[in-house]
Structure 1
C-alpha cells in the first residue's frame, strides 16, 4: 500500500520512547520529517527525528517552545500526533486516595497538552489540509479498569477528537483517535512504573505479573500489543490512504474490549 507521505512534516509528542518513538520511526521510514517532543530527549529520539525538543507539554510554555521549534525546523506542520500521556502522577489508587494535585497533573498532561498543542498547530493544519491523531486508551471505554483521573482524561481526549473532527473536518483537517490496550512500554515493563506498582499492590512478582496480563485482562490474541503495531495504525490514519476516515476511535487491544 502506498501511503504517499514522502515530503510531509509532522509533530509527535511523548516521542522519546514507546508508542511515540515507534511512531517517529514509522513516519520517518515513510519519508516524513518529524519533530519529536518529550520531557527528556533520549538518544534514540535524537537519532531518528529531524529535531528533538525537550519540553514539558503539561505547561503552556512547553507547548509554545515545541510549536515554535517545529515551525522553525519544518517550515510548517502537516501531521500531528498527540501521544504524550500517562505520567508519574498516574497512581494505582482508588478515587478517594487521588489528590487534587494528581487530578490536575493527569488532566494537564493527558488532555490539556493535546488541547494546547492542537490549538497552536491548527492554523497551519487548516492551510495544509492536515491530519491529527490523538492517542487515547481503552480506559476511555473501560473506565473501571484504571485510576479514575487517567480514565477520565482519556475519555475526554476521545471526546475532544470527535469535537475537533466535526468542527474542522469541513475545513480539510482530519482528526481521529487511537485507543490502545496494554502495550509493551515502560509504563508496564518498568518495575518502578505503573505496572510495577500494580504488581506490588497485588503482591505479585513483576515479571510474573507481566506474563499473566493477557489472561487476567482477557486479551483474545493472548498477547499484549507492541509499540510498532500502534505506530503502524497511527501512520495509516495520518495518510491519504485513510482520506475518508474522520472522527473515528480505533481500538487496538488484542480483543480486550468485548462490547460493540
Structure 2
C-alpha cells in the first residue's frame, strides 16, 4: 500500500534508536523528508542521513528544544506535515523498571513527566500552527500499553503515558476541524536499547528474577508480562503502525489509541 508521504515533512523525536529509528527509516523510505531529533546520533541513524533525512541534536527535556526541532524542519524542508512524539522512557540518569512507588521523589516524578509528557506538549504546541498554516497535518504520540493496564512497577511512567493518551484525545477534538489529526500508538514491551543496553531493563529484571539477561529477553519478561505472542515486540512493528496512522491513507482516523502489544492488554 502506498502511504502517500512523498514531499511530506516529518519530525521524529527520539529518532536515533529503537522505535524512533525504525520510524525515521520507514518514513524516509516512503518518501518523506525527515528530521530525527535526539541527544546524540547513532551509527544506524548516520547510515540513513542524506539530503532527505537529517539529525538534529536536542535534549527534549530542555523546554526550548522541541520548538527548536520544529523550527529546524521548517527551515531546511519548508514546513511540517507529520510529528511523531516518540521520545520517552527512562529520563536521563534513570533506570527502569522501578519496583515500588514509595522510593520515588518529587524530582523523579518531575523528570518522568518532563520527558514523557511535557516534551510532547511543547513539540505539539510548536507544530500545530505550522500544520494549520499548511492546511493540516498528523501527530502520532507514542504512549504505552501500561497507560491502559498499569501494574505495581513504574507508577510514574504509567501515569505520564496515561496523561499523553488523554492529551491525544483532547487535541483530536480541538484540531480535527482544522485538518490536524492526533492519534497515539501504545506499544507493549519492545526489544529496544531500553531493554538491551548494559544496565538496562533486561539486567535489572535478571537480577530480580535470578535469571540471565538472555533468558529475560527471550522468555522471562514475555511470560511475566503475559505477552500472548510469547516475545518482545520488534521496533519495526510499532513503526509500521505509526506510519499508517500518520499517512493520508488514515485521513478519517483521529483520537484513536492503537495497541500494538502482543496481547499484553486484556481489558475490553
The answer, yes or no, to whether TM exceeds 0.5 is yes
Specify the SS of the correspondent of 1:142.
Answer: coil
CA distance in structure 1 between the aligned counterparts of 2:47 and 2:73, rounded to whole angstroms: 17
Matching residue within 43, 58, 73 for 1:55: 58
| Cα distance, 1:215 vs structure 2 | 2.1
Query: TM-score, with normalisation over the residues of structure 1?
Result: 0.96
- TM norm structure 2: 0.93
Shift of the alpha carbon at 1:219? Answer: 1.5
Query: Which residues in structure 2 correspond to 1:14-93 (within 5 Å)?
Result: 14-49=14-49, 50-87=53-90, 88-91=93-96, 92-93=98-99
Q: What whole-Å deviation, never above 9, does each CA across 1:191-239 have from its counterpart, x for those lacking one?
A: 3113322322233221111122222222222222111111010000011
Residue 251 of structure 2: aligned partner: 243
**Match status 1:207 vs 2:214:** yes
Is 1:97 aligned to 2:103, yes or no? yes
- How far residue 90 of structure 1 moved from its aligned partner, in angstroms, is 4.7
Instruction: Tell me which of 132, 137, 142 is aligned to 1:135.
Output: 142
Q: CA deviation at 1:6?
A: 0.8
Alpha-carbon distance between aligned partners in 1 of 2:46 and 2:132, rounded to the nearest angstrom: 28
Q: Secondary structure at the match of 2:184?
A: strand
Structure 1 stretches (4+) deviating beyond 6 angstroms?
none
What is the DSSP-based 3-state SS (H/G/I as helix, E as strand, rest coil) of the residue aligned with 1:60? coil
**Counterparts in 2 of 1:102 and 1:195: CA distance versus 1, 3 Å:** farther
Tell me how far 1:47 sits from its aligned partner. Answer: 2.8
Report the more deviating stretch, 123-132 or 78-87.
123-132
Among 179, 185, 189, the residue aligned to 1:178: 185
**CA contact 2:95–2:200 (8 Å) conserved in 1:** no
Asked if the contact 1:161/1:175 (under 8 Å) is kept, the reply is: yes
Write the distance in 1 (CA, Å) between the matches of 2:4 and 2:66: 28
Q: Distance in 1 between matches of 2:48 and 2:152?
A: 34
RMSD after superposition:
1.3
Which runs of 5 or more residues in structure 2 are unaligned?
none
1:102-126 per-residue CA deviation (whole Å, 9 max, x = no partner) reads 1111110000000000101111111
CA distance in 2, matches of 1:178, 1:221: 18
Deviates further, 58-67 or 32-41? 58-67
- SS of the residue 2:10 aligns to: strand
Give the paired residue count.
260
1:226 aligned residue = 234
Secondary structure of 2:5's counterpart equals coil
Structure 1 residue 62 displacement after superposition = 1.8
